[in-house]
Structure 1
Amino acid sequence: MIKNIKTINDFNFNNQIALLRVDFNVPVNKYYKIIDDTRIQYTIPTIQKIISENGKVILISHFGRPKGIPSERDSLKFLIPFLSKKLKKTINFCENCIGENVKKQINELKNGEILLLENLRFYKEEEEENKNFAFELSKLGNIYVNDAFGASHRSHASITILPKFFGEKKCIGFLMQKEIKFLNKFLSKKNNNPITILLGGAKISSKIDIIENLIDFADYILIGGGMSYPFIKINGGKIGNSIIENNNKIEKILKIIFNKCQKKNILHLPKDVIIANSFKNTKNTKIVPIHSIPNGWMGLDIGPASIKYFCDIIKKSKTILWNGPVGVFEFSNFSLGTRSIAKIIAQTTEKGAFSLVGGGDSIASLKMEGYDKKISYLSTGGGAFLESLKNKILPGIKAIKK
């Protein structure tokens, strides 16, 4: 996946202006305090290399979903104090992404200095993959660096069109290198069995292709969270009011996948679930078999038998991939399943297994329990991480290839 791609080590940035596409779309609380700074932390070495070599850094990123309408709520200004502290440098800020004002500020920048531009998504052209917008952005630097793995599955102007204007002077940063390296490492673990893949979260539509692609790769595919209910439903189970994507097309594909997995005996679903009669952090709960959820009740976490069943499989695994919580873990009464999974993956990694965890919620649960440092690799991209598992070259990586 990394052949024919220039990396940041192929360039010296002395007197150069690096247009650095980062993914600083980080989760924040209502006071704009960063909840998980993994994406920023992984990009710091890329920024440091450029400024240590006497280059100028122009940071471009998106944040939130402003849909082309500038707003205070989605401004990148909140990043300035955080980045200044991390880099021990003044961070200059520009309230535009293109235009004379930006060019003027870049001209005034000294070597070794950093300029953060405002949210790319304040321009509707970014998500429209607009060539003119990309061309205007290209005037701001002379080396393009993509270190935004989390956005590299998007066909957006700054990801797929912008690199085309840089000819040979484009590359990936250290974060991207790391992501590609560890995904390759995971996909090369065919002989390091057993290989266990645990997929959770609410939506199954985004993960159907992955399950299909990994049937011949994995020894165990564990399905938890909202993703398990469609499987229970197609097999005639009662799922009550559990959250589910109602889609006949999805059901047909799931039946095919289920039958393929059954032949190999690799698909494993929860045995029991903790149910509630409302979607809130209630103590009014019951534990029932997953195929017998009464009407008016919904499954919000895997139950004790499921925790033991999943943990026993993970314990004997040599290679583990995890994406998505197995319950509504942000509600403390429905977090035990996800916390137990986080703990057993950390413990199994400490005993020598290789673990790869992707997706904001999975990483957040690891951090809540203090297990994040015990995992082989935390991926900064949710959607990009999943797209990579479909054996596809991400649009952002394709755009850098020679």
Structure 2
Amino acid sequence: MTAAKPWKTLDDMELAGKVVLTRVDINVPMAEGRVTDMTRIERILPTVRDILAAGGKPVLLAHFGRPKGEVRADMSLGLIREAFETALGSPVKFAANCIGADAKHGVSDLASGEVLLLENTRFHAEETKNDAMFAASLAALGDVYCNDAFSAAHRAHASTEAIARLLPACAGRLMQAELTALEAALGAPERPVVAVVGGAKVSTKLELLGNLVGKADHLIIGGGMANTFLAAQGVPVGKSLCEHDLAETAREIIAKAEAAGCEIILPRDITVAREFKAHADHQVLDADACPEDAMILDVGPKTNVYISDVITSAKTLIMNGPLGVFEMEPFQTGTFAMLDVIATQTDANALVSVAGGGDTVAAINSAGKSSNFSYISTAGGAFLEWMEGKTLPGVAALS
């Protein structure tokens, strides 16, 4: 990102001796009282450590679950304190409330080099209402506000939006990395730009497709979504997952892409089966030859070759969704072949590749390619809304 970025980073702030209220996402999965995936905790460590190194005092604001304004023992951030301490390698203090006397005492007792975790912000109904008074109570605890929770930036909540207007504000390292990667992919990308959009339903990604046809040079559509586009053009799709009622919408998107000079890439050949199960009997056919009693579960080799050529000539790629049913052999072939090309081009510094979304991350992990992308977003809804071209309140508030 250029120096003209509209938001500040930790490097732009004077942190020595300052209490830095830091919004993080540590909404981690748990089972039997233990954290089962440390990814979100590990991703905030650079921010916490950089604040400490600059002489600041990190005081962490976070939500956990959806308590809807009620205090619930099973959603206390105290449950993850031990896991956080282990990851950080030093003690983490805990306050039993994020405002009021408990929070104030926690902050005033915090010595240089120490970290304080405040209790779940969503124990207060005012948090999700973006309540100004609640935000002011939070802001009163600190000197500087740092937002490191891009995954919560699409919500206008008190700890992500209102508070940023009350204190000197900046982005944390994870937020900075996410915004920089997304700006490189969609804001001012190197061309040609390839977008890959897969998944089950067109209906959940209409805004995304509408935005991308105006931003990308090539739009690869895979998964069940591709079937809807094939059917809209009169191609038989048999018993495949397909939203036939969205045929007109699909044709509108195709027309919009044509007008914008964006090539929509649909399967040229298909892998079909009569049963939806791993290792089902299957065959590769031309895209217009799906039998009435079969379903399309993956693209075919001709499609793989064309997609490979397109990606090899691209400079930027953004991915949200697989090409086929990657969870079942052999229907992961198309997705994995595409990921191989993306990985090779990225490793050769020939491609900036950014990916996000639950199925996407799962497919990348299954293929063993998680270290071969320029950036993988774990932000879910915020990543999708950014790709849709929406303004994220938590990011806008930092400007």
- Say whether the fold is shared (TM-score over 0.5): yes
Moved more, 74-83 or 287-296: 287-296
* SS in structure 2 of the partner of residue 159 of structure 1: coil
**Distance in 2, Cα, partners of 1:296 & 1:27:** 40
1:394 matched to which residue of 2? Answer: 392
Task: Select which of 6, 9, 21 maps to 1:19.
Answer: 21
CA shift in 2, pair 1:265/1:20, >3 Å: closer
Q: Is the 8 A contact 1:195 1:219 kept in 2?
A: yes
Moved more, 308-317 or 319-328: 308-317
CA RMSD of aligned residues (A): 3.2
CA shift in 2, pair 1:265/1:137, >3 Å: closer
1:109 matched to which residue of 2? Answer: 110
Task: Select which of 319, 322, 329 maps to 2:319.
Answer: 322
* SS in structure 2 of the partner of residue 201 of structure 1: coil
Moved more, 108-117 or 331-340: 331-340
CA shift in 2, pair 1:24/1:228, >3 Å: farther
**Distance in 2, Cα, partners of 1:382 & 1:311:** 27
What's the offset of the Cα at 1:154?
1.7
* SS in structure 1 of the partner of residue 126 of structure 2: helix
1:266 matched to which residue of 2? Answer: 263
**Distance in 2, Cα, partners of 1:267 & 1:53:** 49
What's the offset of the Cα at 1:396?
0.9
What's the offset of the Cα at 1:372?
2.1
Moved more, 156-165 or 201-210: 201-210
What's the offset of the Cα at 1:259?
1.9
Q: Is the 8 A contact 1:274 1:303 kept in 2?
A: no
CA shift in 2, pair 1:298/1:155, >3 Å: farther
**Distance in 1, Cα, partners of 2:325 & 2:76:** 29
Kindly provide the amino acid, as one letter, of the partner of residue 130 in structure 1: D
**Distance in 2, Cα, partners of 1:74 & 1:239:** 46
Q: Is the 8 A contact 2:128 2:158 kept in 1?
A: yes
What's the offset of the Cα at 1:213?
2.7
* SS in structure 1 of the partner of residue 282 of structure 2: strand
CA shift in 2, pair 1:373/1:115, >3 Å: same
**In the TM superposition, what whole-angstrom CA distance separates every residue of 1:28-54 from its partner, at most 9, and x where no partner exists?**
6787544471x4444222111211233
**In the TM superposition, what whole-angstrom CA distance separates every residue of 1:322-368 from its partner, at most 9, and x where no partner exists?**
12223343445543333333222101212322212222432333334
* SS in structure 1 of the partner of residue 355 of structure 2: strand
1:119 matched to which residue of 2? Answer: 120
What's the offset of the Cα at 1:222?
0.2
CA shift in 2, pair 1:185/1:134, >3 Å: same
**In the TM superposition, what whole-angstrom CA distance separates every residue of 1:197-225 from its partner, at most 9, and x where no partner exists?**
11122343443233333324322100112
**Distance in 2, Cα, partners of 1:108 & 1:294:** 71
* SS in structure 2 of the partner of residue 157 of structure 1: coil
Moved more, 156-165 or 325-334: 325-334
**Distance in 1, Cα, partners of 2:138 & 2:239:** 48
> Structure 1, unaligned stretches of length 5 or more?
none
Q: Is the 8 A contact 1:275 1:293 kept in 2?
A: no
2:347 matched to which residue of 1? Answer: 350
Task: Select which of 273, 279, 284 maps to 1:283.
Answer: 279
Moved more, 114-123 or 136-145: 114-123
What's the offset of the Cα at 1:170?
1.5
* SS in structure 2 of the partner of residue 307 of structure 1: helix
**In the TM superposition, what whole-angstrom CA distance separates every residue of 1:231-282 from its partner, at most 9, and x where no partner exists?**
2332334445544568x6x65443211123346460011231444645xx54
CA shift in 2, pair 1:181/1:292, >3 Å: same
* SS in structure 1 of the partner of residue 156 of structure 2: coil
CA shift in 2, pair 1:189/1:52, >3 Å: closer
1:236 matched to which residue of 2? Answer: 234
Moved more, 103-112 or 59-68: 59-68
**In the TM superposition, what whole-angstrom CA distance separates every residue of 1:356-391 from its partner, at most 9, and x where no partner exists?**
222243233333433222222223423323333344
2:253 matched to which residue of 1? Answer: 257
Task: Select which of 219, 222, 240 maps to 1:221.
Answer: 219
Kindly provide the amino acid, as one letter, of the partner of residue 20 in structure 1: T
CA shift in 2, pair 1:189/1:146, >3 Å: closer
**Distance in 2, Cα, partners of 1:60 & 1:238:** 52
